[in-house]
Amino acid sequence: MTTSIQGAASPRHQAAPAVLVLEDGRTFSGRAYGAVGETFGEAVFSTGMTGYQETLTDPSYHRQVVVMTAPHVGNTGVNDDDPESGRIWVAGYVVRDPARVSSNWRATRTLDEELERQGVVGISGIDTRALTRHLRERGAMRVGIFSGDAWTGVRAEALLDKVKAQPQMKGANLSAEVATKETYVVPAIGTKKFTVAAVDLGIKGMTPHRMAERGIEVHVLPATATAEDIYAVEPDGVFFSNGPGDPATADGPVAVMRAVLERRTPLFGICFGNQILGRALGFGTYKLKYGHRGINQPVQDRTTGKVEVTAHNHGFAVDAPLDKVSDTPFGRAEVSHVCLNDQVVEGLQLLDQPAFSVQYHPEAAAGPHDAAYLFDRFVSLMEAERA
């Protein structure tokens, strides 16, 4: 008797040869995965064992080639419910052992097909553990993936030259490339209690949804929004989103955030938004060696002492003192959250006005929901302002 397997077999598991070339000259040979061709970006690794659709469609991954440390990827195929934006943003995708069959009641297609449909060049069948250890030791670096005509007959030195000709992530100003061009409104679910102006620097879809669930009507504004645009929606609170690129380049959003802080409007920032708050307060930002990406990062909320397991995707961090309250142009500020793996700043809080931010992802898409309380904290700030 034969057993039938639900789902579609990937047609491409015997795909063409492909090669991954790191800027320091190390190479890995594998097979084409997704689209055939060439692609470039910053090589980074994610330790998430689930949630690949959310990872692929997170705009913060723009211009990054994501290496999955989980060895087996694609098992649940692709559905239309889980994406965090309207397209895949990763510049390239690296997996060890793609699922040959996808099986899930929500799946409408395989991951391989979806990558190909969206023109995302990937590579499979390489030793992702060795690659991850290399990136951990040498740091995130530029990379190219080549398959098909992009590789056949091309000299290795020529491929390396192409990789080295690519722009670095340090100094990259990318928010405007991924953010909405037009303002749109995410309505409150149930009774509307508050209006929030959310500056889109690369926002994930789950973020306004988490606010809408709490009775917030969210006006999502382009990355280039001015303080006038923000106050035109008469917001009870202002939000600055996650986003790709180097926060050191985000002078525009930093100036806009300072205008919001001047007016003492309740303010919340996530990830890039945390880095912008850091800069608005006068702290610096710096590039981490290889960053935090995954859904299992331990963070301590120093205001309560509680430890939460959280979703991360950041390559830069705020340089603020952990052991003292800082005086800033907007009053006293402190580091509210810290990563327990490496003591990196994971949150900031003002003590004299209603403003705070975190470096990680309380919207949890994908990821554990331990940090959902932060959206409630934002609501409390707006309630207190109204009282």
Is residue 361 annotated as part of the catalytic site, yes or no? yes
Q: Where are the beta strands (DSSP E) in the chain?
A: 17-22, 27-34, 38-46, 64-68, 72-73, 92-95, 97-98, 121-124, 141-147, 184-186, 194-199, 216-221, 237-240, 267-270, 284-301, 307-319, 326-328, 331-339, 345-350, 355-358
Is residue 271 annotated as part of the catalytic site, yes or no? yes
In the complex with ligand GLN, the residue whose CB is nearer, 38 or 246, is 246
Q: Which of 205, 222, 244, 253 binds ligand GLN (CB under 6 A)?
A: 244
Q: One-letter amino acid identity for 227?
A: A
Q: Does residue 322 contact residue 345 with C-beta atoms inside 8 Å?
A: yes
Q: Give me the numbers of helices (H) and strands (E) for the chain, helices first please.
A: 10, 20
In the complex with ligand GLN, the residue whose CB is nearer, 28 or 378, is 378
Contacts of 232 (CB under 8 A, 6+ apart): none
CB 184 → ligand GLN: shortest distance, Å? 20
In the complex with ligand GLN, the residue whose CB is nearer, 125 or 243, is 243
Angstrom distance (rounded) from CA 338 to CA 212: 28
314 interacts with ligand GLN by CB under 6 A: yes
CB 271 → ligand GLN: shortest distance, Å? 3
Burial class for 274, CB neighbours closer than 10 Å (0-12, 13-18, 19+): buried
- Draw the binding track, 27-56, toward ligand GLN (x: CB under 6 A; -: no contact): ------------------------------
Q: Which of 243, 252, 266, 354 binds ligand GLN (CB under 6 A)?
A: 243
85 annotated ligand binder? no
Identify the active-site residue in 54, 219, 271, 339: 271
Q: Which of 92, 315, 362, 367 binds ligand GLN (CB under 6 A)?
A: 315
178 interacts with ligand GLN by CB under 6 A: no
Is residue 363 annotated as part of the catalytic site, yes or no? yes
240 annotated ligand binder? no
Other Cβ atoms less than 10 A from the Cβ of 228: the count is 9
Tokens representing 113?
């097909």
Directed axis angle between helix 251-262 and helix 272-281, to 10°? 70
Q: Which of 39, 53, 55, 60 binds ligand GLN (CB under 6 A)?
A: 60
Active site residues: 271, 361, 363
Binding-site residue ranges for L-glutamine: 60, 243, 245, 272, 275, 313, 315-316
What is the binding site for ligand GLN (CB under 6 A)? Answer: 60, 242-245, 271-272, 313-316
